[in-house]
């Protein structure tokens, strides 16, 4: 097998943010196929990120985004483990990307864990009634409601939404990729979205 060239390793590093040796090893493992190597590094990075996700996040920053025309604005609190990380331009850019995501997609909660139980029960009741009214058999109403509830989470929970800058991944995947890159836990703590209605 031909060794990966320095330029190929550099291209992979630029795409993934992984270290040079990690990129070289991934290319060797994937036969110099940059797409496969990117997928491999993302999978490894997400696995590594998940091991850091329980760690304490005592630092961070509050980022703002005001949309053109000043009729829509967002404040978001993004936490990190150290102020060293939260003061970097890369971390500020991450927080800014999240603020823009919130401005564009109008999530109501950060994650599905925050959705009130009454809200979930109400949605399930509506989905079942819709399905019943459209003539679906009683025995599959729960399954239909479950499927619609998953879509409800994707629409309303920030972490489950497709990421604005790369719709192939979710916001949660984007955060995990950055946890892997920064080598410390990152948490979206809370946000507020303001809009002047017509």
The reported pLDDT for the residue numbered 57 is 66
Q: Residue 23 belongs to a domain with what CATH number?
A: 1.10.8.10
Same domain, 91 and 168: yes
Confidence of residue 48 (pLDDT cuts 50, 70, 90): low
Domain-located, residue 151: yes
Q: Residue 143 belongs to a domain with what CATH number?
A: 1.10.286.20
Domain-located, residue 120: yes
Q: How far is CA 99 from CA 68, 84, 92, 131, in A?
A: 14, 21, 10, 36
Same domain, 172 and 142: no
The model carries a pTM of: 0.70
Confidence of residue 13 (pLDDT cuts 50, 70, 90): confident
Q: Residue 175 belongs to a domain with what CATH number?
A: 3.30.479.20
The reported pLDDT for the residue numbered 198 is 77
Same domain, 105 and 164: yes
Please say if the pLDDT value at position 79 is more than 80: yes
Same domain, 173 and 99: yes
- The number of folded domains in the chain is 3
Highest mean pLDDT: which of 3-7, 34-38, 94-98?
A: 94-98
Query: What pLDDT, in 10s, does the model give residues 121-163?
Result: 999 999 988 888 888 888 888 888 899 999 999 999 999 999 9
Same domain, 76 and 172: yes
The reported pLDDT for the residue numbered 18 is 67
Please give the Cα distance from 198 to 30 (Å, whole number). Answer: 54
Domain-located, residue 1: no
Same domain, 77 and 140: no
Same domain, 148 and 163: no
Residue 104 belongs to domain spanning: 59-110+157-195
The reported pLDDT for the residue numbered 132 is 84
Same domain, 104 and 74: yes
Please give the Cα distance from 87 to 79 (Å, whole number). Answer: 11
Query: What pLDDT, in 10s, does the model give residues 87-124?
Result: 999 999 999 999 999 999 999 999 999 999 999 999 99
């Amino acid at each position: 097998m031909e060794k990966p060239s320095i330029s190929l390793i550099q291209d992979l590093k630029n795409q993934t943010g992984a270290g040079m040796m990690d990129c070289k090893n991934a290319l060797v493992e994937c036969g110099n196929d940059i797409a496969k190597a990117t997928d491999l590094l993302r999978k490894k990075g997400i696995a590594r990120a998940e091991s850091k996700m329980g760690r304490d996040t005592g630092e961070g920053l509050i980022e703002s985004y005001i949309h053109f025309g000043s009729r829509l604005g967002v404040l978001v609190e993004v936490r990190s483990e150290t102020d060293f990380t939260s003061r970097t331009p890369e971390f500020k850019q991450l927080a800014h990307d999240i603020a823009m995501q919130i401005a564009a997609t109008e999530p109501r909660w950060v994650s599905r864990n925050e959705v009130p139980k009454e809200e979930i029960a109400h949605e399930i009741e509506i989905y079942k009634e819709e399905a019943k009214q459209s003539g679906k058999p009683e025995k599959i109403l729960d399954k239909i409601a479950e499927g619609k509830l998953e879509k409800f989470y994707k629409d309303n929970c920030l972490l489950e939404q497709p990421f604005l800058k790369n719709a192939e991944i979710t916001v949660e995947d984007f955060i995990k990729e950055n946890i892997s890159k920064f080598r410390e836990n990152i948490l979206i703590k809370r946000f507020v979205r303001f809009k002047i209605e017509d």
